[in-house]
Structure 1
Amino acid sequence: MNDTPETSRNSSTALEQLRQLIQQQEHTPDRALPTERELAERFGVGRREIRRALDVLEEEGRIWRKQGKGTFVGPSAPVQPLVLQDLPHQSNLLEVMEARLQLEPGLASLAALRATKEQIALMKRLLERMHAITPPEDGDQHELWDSAFHRAIAEAAGNRLMLGLFDAVDAVRRDPGWQHLRVQARTPARLDNYDNHHQRLVMHIAQRQPHEAAAAMREHLLALQQALMETLYSRQEEMP
């Protein structure tokens, strides 16, 4: 299988499926995960997408690798999300942003109260990985680390139900059908602004400032929402 298959699936798809596989294999940590090639064939993505997803999981402490032996399930997550099967699977990006605006400021506030030093260190590492993306226009990889960063905040909040809701909303957000719109809404100036938001978020969480963390998250999400709306309306005006 080539590294770039002609498919709408991406690294985020691989990451979501790998999380499910790891959850199933947590009780047999001595058994290695399938090889990258096998995972790529199983999930219908390229090996590059599998490697990127594994990088995120390794950074989160979900897996560990041993040269010549394979990839193994690492320590369990601080909290495990609930499976919410009855949440709607059909929505749109603007509804997703409305849901995020209701949910994620609260998660940021709780994270400022409950995050461990290790969780804060993880947030900082994820930001570093996001900044190191080359080339900068690699939207798939940027979305992968951005999603992992927001999920790290959700995990640090320490509420299983809210983490499950976050995962459900994030799965809708990452629908491949909307990827082109998300890419169009991402400009260098906006990315610089988002980076400032992210840095302030981590600072407020590290300094145990729940109100400030919630406000920074709300400001960030409002900026994302505005960018999506402007891009969506611009596309509609260009249509004949």
Structure 2
Amino acid sequence: MDEDGSNSDVALERLRHYLQNSKVPADGKLPTERQFAELFGVGRRAVRRALEALEAEGVLSRRQGAGTFFGGQGALLETGLVDVSRTDFIEIMEVRLRLEPQLAQLAALRAKPEHVARMRALAVKIGQLTDFDERELWDGQLHRSIALAAGNRLFLSLFDAVNRIRQDEAWRAVRERARNTNRSGDVTTEQHLHIVDCIARRDPVSAGEAMSSHLLILQESLMRQTSLDGAVGPVEKDSEDPGFLNNGAFKR
């Protein structure tokens, strides 16, 4: 965490859990940023960003001078999470490489114009951010928007389970070092926009391939960084297996 205790993904996860298990009624007023920060053990900046993310999802609304209000349990129907055991980044990337290209393909078939507009806005937003914690939060929101547009609730639950790993400190530290080493912000933005363009064109094959390419570059960067750290994962050799890259893309 940074000096003010910020970890936006932790705050987002804990807010979701709080809302799912609270008895706050629809349009009920929520605690303040300060109260949430104390309750969750994170910085207020992290809470503020997490609230902004949930507001963008339509889960809650913030009213100037009045506070923050919950949209009700109905707003959380698509945010169910599955508990996962702690794992390493190689296993995470293996799952992402098999899951997210399929989600991109389905999104290309099912995304509504408002889904595409949100994806594009998020891709642009991420490209403009310089704070790592904030980039991580909105990067997760972009990938989740694609999962949501896929229109499969079970897939979305699986995505959310994997995405929870972002809050792990070791995972965040490796990603931050890899990003700083490679200075890949512009490339990532181009990749994000390309994925969105493929979805907008309703081209599932290209969307799946674009997502695979994006994740493979991330995986390579992470492997390189952990090699420098002397912490190469036990199954790195599998990434050289051609079968490892086969994500089951749609065939024309």
TM-score bracket for this pair, using the shorter chain length: 0.7 to 0.9
Matched residues in 2 for 1:69 and 1:52: separation?
A: 18
Secondary structure of the corresponding residue to residue 91 of structure 1: coil
Matched residues in 2 for 1:98 and 1:118: separation?
A: 30
TM-score, structure 2 normalization? 0.83
TM-score, structure 1 normalization? 0.87
Q: Which residue of 2 aligns with 1:30?
A: 27
**Any stretches of 5+ residues in structure 2 without a counterpart?**
232-252
Offset, 1:106? 0.3
Q: Within 5 A, what are the aligned runs for 1:39-58?
A: 39-58=36-55
Residue 116 in 1 paired to residue 112 in 2? yes
Per-residue CA shift, 1:85-105, capped at 9, x if unaligned? 4x4x12101110011001000
With over 3 angstroms needed to count, the CA separation of the structure-2 counterparts of 1:111 and 1:25, relative to structure 1, is farther
Per-residue CA shift, 1:129-161, capped at 9, x if unaligned? 21232xx2x211111110111011111111111
Q: Which residue of 2 aligns with 1:227?
A: 221
Offset, 1:58? 1.6
Matched residues in 2 for 1:78 and 1:56: separation?
A: 13
How large is the Cα RMSD of the aligned pairs?
A: 2.2
Per-residue CA shift, 1:167-188, capped at 9, x if unaligned? 1111124311222211111046
Q: Within 5 A, what are the aligned runs for 1:62-141?
A: 62-74=59-71, 76-77=74-75, 80-85=78-83, 87=84, 89-133=85-129, 136=130, 138-141=131-134
Matched residues in 2 for 1:115 and 1:49: separation?
A: 30
Match of 1:160 among 130, 153, 163: 153
Matched residues in 2 for 1:157 and 1:38: separation?
A: 35
Offset, 1:51? 0.7
State the one-letter code of the partner of 1:191.
G
Q: Which residue of 1 aligns with 2:212?
A: 218
Contact 2:124–2:189 (CA under 8 A) maintained in structure 1 = no
State the one-letter code of the partner of 2:216.
L
With over 3 angstroms needed to count, the CA separation of the structure-2 counterparts of 1:97 and 1:173, relative to structure 1, is farther
Give the share of equivalent positions with the same residue, in percent: 46
Which deviates further from its counterpart, 149-158 or 164-173?
Answer: 164-173
Contact 1:36–1:47 (CA under 8 A) maintained in structure 2 = yes
